[in-house]
Structure 1
Amino acid sequence: MKIKVLLAASALIGALASPALAADPTGLWQTPTNGGQVRISRCGQALCGTLVTSSHIRADADARDENNKNASLRSRPLRNLPMLTGFTGGPTEWRGGSVYNPADGGTYRGTITMTNDNTLRLRGCIVAPLCKTQTWTRVQ
């Protein structure tokens, strides 16, 4: 009986001491604006993300990055457009990256925070405190 109690106590202590596995941010994410979906993947040691689809892409498969502040990039297609680059860190928060917003052509400093397995918060800032935060949900 003592052995069973010791084994149970040992298992409980081991479970409490083990860190929880962090959610994996890679995959396809639904944005709250324009029906956008962004695929987040690993790019070396960093996270990056590309625009897979949006209401603009669905309306015109040849839609271009026409709002880009850099005139030489305005002919890029919106489909597979790099939107997230250079995010490092983890296991639940990645910083130091850039967020490109094709709606206004601006690039912002960003942070990605996993709130659970299927939800993340993306924060983009011109300069703190001038920031905007969106909640993205995983596409199953």
Structure 2
Amino acid sequence: MRKTFKTLLLALPLVMAAMSASAADSAVGRWKTIDDKTGETKSIVEISKAANGTLTGKVLEVLKSDKGPNPVCSDCKGPNKGKPIKGMTILWNLSQDKGSTTEWSGGTILDPANGKTYKSKLELQPGGNKLDVSGCITIICRAQTWVRE
């Protein structure tokens, strides 16, 4: 019993290191969204893997908003119209690019500030602590770098 306990105790740091290394190689996690115009942290978004294997992102906290505390997506269309931004899914259907462990594309991102949706792609930067997020309409794109929380 004692030998088993010692073995488990010794193995724990290895397991923890493996788990943190795999997290650094994935966009899954909590991210601080950084405004591309002001450089300010605007919200915390959690990216997770959906049941179908794609990535999805949900706003956990709104830290700064021009619409005051507890903002709603007043410019959204459809089911998000007038809904609180906190708790809203703003990123969905991103698939990992073939042959890449750091790029995802083919998804959609919602900008709750203006209610518009864009084609989206993500690229995890070396080290795993920065995520380049872009949204495009035809050839016009907007990009932000999010920072892992």
Q: In structure 1, what is the equivalent of residue 32 of structure 2?
A: 30
| Matched letter for residue 81 of structure 2 | R
- Pair 1:110 & 2:112 matched: no
The match for 2:74 among 66, 78, 92 is 66
SS of 2:65's partner is helix
CA distance in 2, matches of 1:77, 1:103: 12
Taking structure 1 as the reference length, what is the TM-score of the superposition?
Answer: 0.75
Taking structure 2 as the reference length, what is the TM-score of the superposition?
Answer: 0.71
Q: In structure 2, what is the equivalent of residue 15 of structure 1?
A: none
- In our comparison, the structure showing a higher alpha carbon Rg is 1
Deviation at 1:60, TM superposition (A): 2.2
Q: Aligned runs of 1:45-84 on 2, under 5 Å?
A: 45-54=53-62, 55-56=64-65, 59-61=68-70, 63-68=71-76, 70=77, 73-84=80-91
Instruction: Give the length in aligned residue pairs.
Output: 117
| Unpaired segments ≥5 residues, structure 2 | 1-21, 36-40
CA distance in 2, matches of 1:50, 1:122: 14
Moved more, 101-110 or 30-39: 30-39
- Pair 1:137 & 2:119 matched: no
CA distance in 2, matches of 1:72, 1:52: 19
Q: Deviations over 1:118-138 (max 9, x none)?
A: 01100100112x001110100
| Matched letter for residue 107 of structure 2 | G
Q: Deviations over 1:85-127 (max 9, x none)?
A: 0000151100100010001110000110001210110010011
